[in-house]
Amino acid sequence: EVRLVESGGVVVQPGGSLRLSCAASGFAFDDYTMHWLRQVPGKGLEWVSLITWNSDTTYYADSVKGLFTISRDNSRNSLFLQMNSLRTEDTALYYCAKSLSGYDSYLDYWGQGTLVTVSS
Amino acid sequence: EIVLTQSPATLSLSPGERATLSCRASQSISTSLAWYQQTPGQAPRLLIYGASKRATGIPARFSGSGSGTDFTLTISSLEPEDFAVYYCQQRDSWPSITFGQGTRLEIK
């Protein structure tokens, strides 16, 4: 069974930093592109970042470019999102998601999310 | 940036009825479109990809169609568990992917 479990979401002050983690199990983690997405409670979905299977390629939404860094550790089946210079508009539920086999940007499994609140 | 516009914003139907949800892209995206279902408190679930391919385990009552700029998700006969929010997503502008704003399917 595929499982994705996010952690690391807390309340943080504007300008602060946070590192989110996603623990993956039930599939060959090192075969797949992985994504981070976010959702303000009650609002729509926003793609944040992706990383290819071998970390060779990373991409970011314009809204987080230069502020967030995605990484992965295939030996630990883990995905990370380093978030710096956090702003109130970064408040959201953050999901990690697995890409569908053969398609880097369709997302067939999602975690339950971890809540990041940026507030003073 | 490719913008996806979903309509209607809210659709009120009864169990057993047919639901038709629309997604329009601001430019042609071929068949690079997916549909997701999100129920309250849950993560999104992939229903359809490549505009018309059902994801693993998705019931046959869900079908997708369209190409270019106009796409449709059809639920042939609504079950109680189908009342949720539905999002379309494009991958034509890879690596950037974008979502529509969602259609809320509610019980009439």
Could you give the CA distance from residue B73 to residue A40 in angstroms, rounded to a whole number?
24
Confidence (pLDDT) at B1:
87
A106 touches chain B (CB under 8 A): yes
Q: Are the Cβ atoms of B43 and A107 closer than 8 angstroms?
A: no
Could you give the CA distance from residue B57 to residue B46 in angstroms, rounded to a whole number?
10
SS3 A93: strand
User: In a structure prediction context, what are the per-residue pLDDT tens digits for chain B, which is 108 residues long?
Assistant: 899 999 999 999 999 999 999 999 999 999 999 999 999 999 999 999 999 999 999 999 999 999 999 999 999 999 999 999 999 999 987 788 999 999 999 999
Among B6, B86, B97, B98, most A C-beta atoms within 10 A, so best to mutate, is: B97
Between CA B32 and CA B93, with CA A114 as vertex, the angle to 5 degrees is 20
A112 touches chain B (CB under 8 A): yes
Tokens linked to A116? 């990041």
pLDDT tens for A34-93 read 999 999 999 999 999 999 999 999 999 999 999 999 999 999 999 999 999 999 999 999
Instruction: For A5, name the nearest residue in chain B, comparing CA atoms only.
Output: B43
Confidence (pLDDT) at B96:
83
Confidence (pLDDT) at B86:
98
